[in-house]
């Protein structure tokens, strides 16, 4: 299945958290230069999948290939080299350094990894901040920014080293509609302008369908649907349709498994 | 009964795993260099944060401890007519015991807990993960300079504590109780040995510095990334390092005096 059109290939991955099996023989490929939204019910391990691709978690068996290299078997040095300039990740809580201002946060990877002169770093940082519309906040600290702005600064920081692959962990959670619209436009815009491969973990069906080229629906440790939003909405998998339409009952039952309701009620009288 | 045995086993295994993780953390972060390693400036910044900012508490506490020692010592020694030995008593007590031990205990409470909370919060807010994903090793960038800053600061703080304490003793003995200042200082100068007293005290302080800082950074790095987890880790830092200081103090004293 490995070919140059796929940026990330996940092959037969099993992953346990404690004794609980999160993934059982997961197989999925993410095409290069496209936006793929990874969706699924809470607790199915979508973030875990991103962390395995980033090498922060190791699969118990199987392979996670990025650009044809198995992330799980890389040496620590190679892994840091890969993350340095091939990968970016936007965390749910943004992970901005609270003791540094906006400018220094975006400059952090550039200063750490390059020997560029200060004035060039300044230009690069201002360009990244301009791209997310926050050049005016360069002297502010993360605590002074709104949630949406913090996320945009974090986005500017994660593209500072011009990665080829960028992963977004729940980028829409807790944002007002205006900030959400800005983030949506930025993710789409960055993808088009820089040809990035973008992986997006989200619960927000409507937003994800707007910008994603492909959807990958994960449930019960497996991929239950992969395709364009239209294909999946009109597909024949009932569980995928239930998820995309947000139906409260269906193949995923509304009721947590329990014994017979009537018997349970009468049992109290005895 | 079976549950009790099982819990005991579980606690035992978890403790050993925890010691193993702490050992690996120390091994990986005690050396400089590596992806995105911290620089000399980071070390200076951390020495400022854990060392310089502990100065006020160390100096005030040292002065008072010296004053109390002189006051108590004076009232004991005067019964034996040997008040002139007061300078010796105050200085040896401070240099050998109270300087290293109290400075380390104060350091654990003032700087150790702050280190744990800071690192724990960086973990909870995904700052450490974000660093990792930017190709910067948080062990090298965050832990290494903090570990070294603590290891460098504690011996210096302990020496300051003793010095200020000796002055505090002189203030009470000479200025308040009227002891002849020549007796206080010259007896001290005649009896305090550089290697046996000053250096051995510094060795103790250095050991405490390593242990306290190691416990503090480990507790922060290993904390559960929740507000409850960070609170628990901060308490653990103070409790474990205090006990470690007192326990190690006995062992080190026994080894140095060679009496046990």
**Which tens digit of pLDDT belongs to each residue from B5-35?**
999 999 999 999 999 999 999 998 888 877 7
Q: How far is B116 from B132, CA to CA, in rounded Å?
A: 19
Query: What are the φ/ψ torsions at residue A235 (nearest 5 degrees)?
Result: -75, 180
Q: How far is B66 from A167, CA to CA, in rounded Å?
A: 59
Q: How many CB atoms lie within 10 A of CB B167?
A: 15
Higher-scoring residue by pLDDT: A230, B217: B217
Q: Print the domain residue range for A113.
A: 6-236
Q: Which DSSP string do the residues of A13-28 spell out, in sequence order?
A: EEEEETTEEEEEEEEE
Give the pLDDT of residue A4.
66
Q: How far is A248 from B62, CA to CA, in rounded Å?
A: 67
Residues 6+ apart with CB under 8 A from A254: A248
The share of chain A scoring above pLDDT 70, in percent, equals: 98
Give a yes or no: residue A42 inside a domain.
yes
Whether A82 and A68 have beta carbons less than 8 Å apart is answered as: no
For the cut 90, the answer to whether the pLDDT of residue A18 exceeds it is no
For the cut 80, the answer to whether the pLDDT of residue B198 exceeds it is yes
Give a yes or no: residue A57 inside a domain.
yes
Comparing CA positions, the residue from B94, B89, B96, B150 lying closest to residue B118 is B150
- What is the nearest CA distance from B195 to chain A, expressed in angstroms? 43
Q: Pairing between strand A6-17 and A20-31?
A: antiparallel
Which residues on A lie below 8 Å from B141 (Cβ)?
112
Interchain pair A112, B134: CB under 8 A: yes
Tell me the mean pLDDT in the region A243-267. Answer: 82
Single pTM value for the model: 0.85
Comparing CA positions, the residue from B236, B234, B213 lying closest to residue B153 is B213
Give the pLDDT of residue B242.
96
Give the pLDDT of residue A76.
84
List the single residue in A85, A93, A157 with the smallest CB-CB distance to B125.
A93
Interchain pair B127, A82: CB under 8 A: no
Give a yes or no: residue A86 inside a domain.
yes
Kindly list the distances between the CA atom of residue A124 and the CA atoms of A128, A161, A166, A196, B133, in Å, as whole numbers in the listed order: 6, 10, 19, 18, 20
Residue of B135, B142, B225 to mutate for A, most A C-beta atoms under 10 A: B135
- What is the nearest CA distance from A250 to chain B, expressed in angstroms? 35
Give the pLDDT of residue B156.
96
Q: How confident is the model at residue B260 (pLDDT cuts 50, 70, 90)?
A: low
Q: How confident is the model at residue B39 (pLDDT cuts 50, 70, 90)?
A: confident
Q: Which residues pair with A198 in a beta bridge?
A: A35, A166
Give the pLDDT of residue A2.
44
Tell me the mean pLDDT in the region A245-259. Answer: 79
Q: Which range, of A51-60, B143-152, B226-235, averages the lowest pLDDT?
A: A51-60
Interchain pair B135, A97: CB under 8 A: no
Tell me the mean pLDDT in the region A135-155. Answer: 91
Structure tokens at A146: 């709104």
Q: How far is B121 from A143, CA to CA, in rounded Å?
A: 14
Q: What is the CA radius of gyration of chain A?
A: 21
For the cut 50, the answer to whether the pLDDT of residue B175 exceeds it is yes
Chain B (98-157) residues lying within 8 Å, Cβ to Cβ, of chain A: 125-127, 129-137, 141
Report the residue of chain A nearest B141, measured CA to CA. A112
Query: What are the φ/ψ torsions at residue B157 (nearest 5 degrees)?
Result: -65, -40
Give the pLDDT of residue A110.
92
We report the CATH number of the domain holding residue A48 as 3.40.50.300
Comparing CA positions, the residue from A53, A73, A44 lying closest to residue A7 is A53
Give a yes or no: residue A266 inside a domain.
no
Give a yes or no: residue A257 inside a domain.
no
Whether A168 and A201 have beta carbons less than 8 Å apart is answered as: yes
Query: What are the φ/ψ torsions at residue A216 (nearest 5 degrees)?
Result: -125, 110
Higher-scoring residue by pLDDT: A1, B163: B163
List the single residue in B126, B129, B135 with the smallest CB-CB distance to A84.
B135
Higher-scoring residue by pLDDT: A186, B164: B164
The share of chain B scoring above pLDDT 70, in percent, equals: 99
Q: Which of A122-136, A201-215, B102-116 has the highest mean pLDDT?
A: B102-116
Give the pLDDT of residue A118.
92
Which residues on B lie below 8 Å from A77 (Cβ)?
35
Give the pLDDT of residue A1.
41
Count of structural domains within chain A: 1
Structure tokens at B53: 């900012």
Q: How far is B18 from A19, CA to CA, in rounded Å?
A: 19
Question: Does A162 contact chain B (CB < 8 Å)?
Answer: no
List the single residue in A54, A96, A97 with the smallest CB-CB distance to B133.
A54
Chain A (24-63) residues lying within 8 Å, Cβ to Cβ, of chain B: 54, 56
Q: How far is B158 from B165, CA to CA, in rounded Å?
A: 10
Question: Does A66 contact chain B (CB < 8 Å)?
Answer: no
- What is the nearest CA distance from A245 to chain B, expressed in angstroms? 32
Structure tokens at A241: 């349709």
Give the pLDDT of residue A213.
92
Q: How confident is the model at residue B205 (pLDDT cuts 50, 70, 90)?
A: very high
Residue A83 CB burial class (10 angstroms; 0-12, 13-18, ≥19): buried
| pLDDT, tens digit (0-9, with 9 covering 90-100), for B73-83 | 999 999 998 88
Higher-scoring residue by pLDDT: B84, B233: B233
Give a yes or no: residue A243 inside a domain.
no
Interchain pair B35, A96: CB under 8 A: no
Q: How far apart are the first and last CA of chain A?
A: 61
What's the mean per-residue pLDDT of chain B? 92
| pLDDT, tens digit (0-9, with 9 covering 90-100), for A171-227 | 888 888 888 888 898 899 888 888 889 999 988 888 888 889 999 988 888 888 898
| pLDDT, tens digit (0-9, with 9 covering 90-100), for A58-86 | 888 889 999 888 888 888 888 888 888 88
Listed in order, strand segments (DSSP E) in A123-261 are 165-169, 197-201, 214-219, 222-227
Question: Does A82 contact chain B (CB < 8 Å)?
Answer: yes
Give a yes or no: residue A245 inside a domain.
no
Which residues on B lie below 8 Å from A87 (Cβ)?
133
Give the pLDDT of residue B259.
59
Question: Does B235 contact chain A (CB < 8 Å)?
Answer: no
Q: How many CB atoms lie within 10 A of CB A174?
A: 12
Give a yes or no: residue A177 inside a domain.
yes
Structure tokens at A248: 């409260």
Interchain pair A95, B127: CB under 8 A: yes
List the single residue in B35, B126, B135 with the smallest CB-CB distance to A95.
B126
Give the pLDDT of residue A270.
56
Whether B106 and B59 have beta carbons less than 8 Å apart is answered as: no
Structure tokens at B186: 């010259």
For the cut 80, the answer to whether the pLDDT of residue A253 exceeds it is no
Complex confidence, ipTM:
0.82
Virtual torsion, Cα A133, A136, A137, A140, nearest 10 deg: 170
Which residues on B lie below 8 Å from A158 (Cβ)?
133-134
Interchain pair A82, B135: CB under 8 A: yes
Interchain pair A98, B125: CB under 8 A: yes
List the single residue in B125, B135, B137 with the smallest CB-CB distance to A95.
B125
Which residues on B lie below 8 Å from A112 (Cβ)?
36, 134, 136, 141
CA A122 to chain centroid, in Å, comes to 29
């Amino acid at each position: 299945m490995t070919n140059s059109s796929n940026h990330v290939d996940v092959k037969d991955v099993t992953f346990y958290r404690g004794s609980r099996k999160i993934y059982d023989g997961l197989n999925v490929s993410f095409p290069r230069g496209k936006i793929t939204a990874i969706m699924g019910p809470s607790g199915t391990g979508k973030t875990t999948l991103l962390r395995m691709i980033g090498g922060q978690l190791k699969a118990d068996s199987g392979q996670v290939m990025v650009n044809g290299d198995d992330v799980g078997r890389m040496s620590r040095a190679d892994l840091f080299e890969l993350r340095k300039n091939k990968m970016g990740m936007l965390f749910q809580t943004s992970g901005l350094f609270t003791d540094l201002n906006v400018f220094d946060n975006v400059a952090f990877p550039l200063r750490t990894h390059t020997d560029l002169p200060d004035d060039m770093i300044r230009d690069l940082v201002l360009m990244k901040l301009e791209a997310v519309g926050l050049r005016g906040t360069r002297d502010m600290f993360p605590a002074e920014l709104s949630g949406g702005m913090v996320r945009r600064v974090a986005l500017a920081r994660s593209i500072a080293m011009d990665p080829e692959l960028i992963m977004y962990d729940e980028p829409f959670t807790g944002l007002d509609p205006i900030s959400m619209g800005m983030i949506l436009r930025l993710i789409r815009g960055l993808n088009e302008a820089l040809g990035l491969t973008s992986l997006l973990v989200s619960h927000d069906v409507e937003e994800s369908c707007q910008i994603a080229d492909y959807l990958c629906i994960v449930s019960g440790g497996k991929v239950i649907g992969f395709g364009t939003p239209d294909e999946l909405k009109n597909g024949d998998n009932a569980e995928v349709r239930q998820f995309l339409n947000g139906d409260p009952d269906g193949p995923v039952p509304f009721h947590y498994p329990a014994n017979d309701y009537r018997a349970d009620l009468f049992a109290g009288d005895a | 009964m079976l549950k009790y045995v099982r819990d005991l086993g579980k606690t035992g295994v978890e403790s050993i795993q925890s010691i193993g993780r702490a050992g690996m953390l120390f091994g990986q972060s005690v050396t400089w260099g590596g992806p995105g390693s911290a620089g000399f400036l980071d070390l200076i910044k951390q020495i400022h944060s854990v060392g310089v900012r502990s100065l006020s508490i160390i100096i005030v506490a040292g002065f008072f401890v010296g004053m109390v020692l002189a006051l108590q010592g004076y009232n004991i020694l005067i019964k034996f007519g040997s008040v002139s030995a007061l300078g010796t008593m105050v200085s040896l007590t401070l240099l050998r015991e109270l300087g290293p031990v109290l400075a380390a205990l104060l350091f654990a409470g003032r700087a150790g807990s702050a280190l744990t909370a800071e690192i724990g919060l960086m973990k909870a807010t995904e700052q450490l993960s974000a660093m990792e994903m930017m190709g910067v090793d948080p062990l090298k960038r965050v832990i290494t300079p903090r570990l070294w800053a603590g290891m460098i600061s504690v011996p210096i703080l302990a020496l300051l504590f003793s010095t200020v304490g000796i002055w505090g003793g002189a203030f009470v003995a000479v200025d308040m109780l009227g002891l002849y200042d020549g007796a206080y200082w010259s007896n001290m100068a005649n009896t305090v040995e550089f290697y046996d007293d000053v250096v051995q005290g510094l060795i103790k302080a250095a050991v405490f510095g390593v242990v306290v800082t190691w416990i503090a950074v480990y507790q922060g790095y290993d904390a559960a990334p929740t507000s409850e987890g960070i609170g628990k880790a901060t308490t653990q830092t103070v409790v474990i390092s205090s006990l470690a200081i007192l326990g190690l103090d006995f062992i080190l004293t026994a080894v140095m005096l060679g009496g046990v």
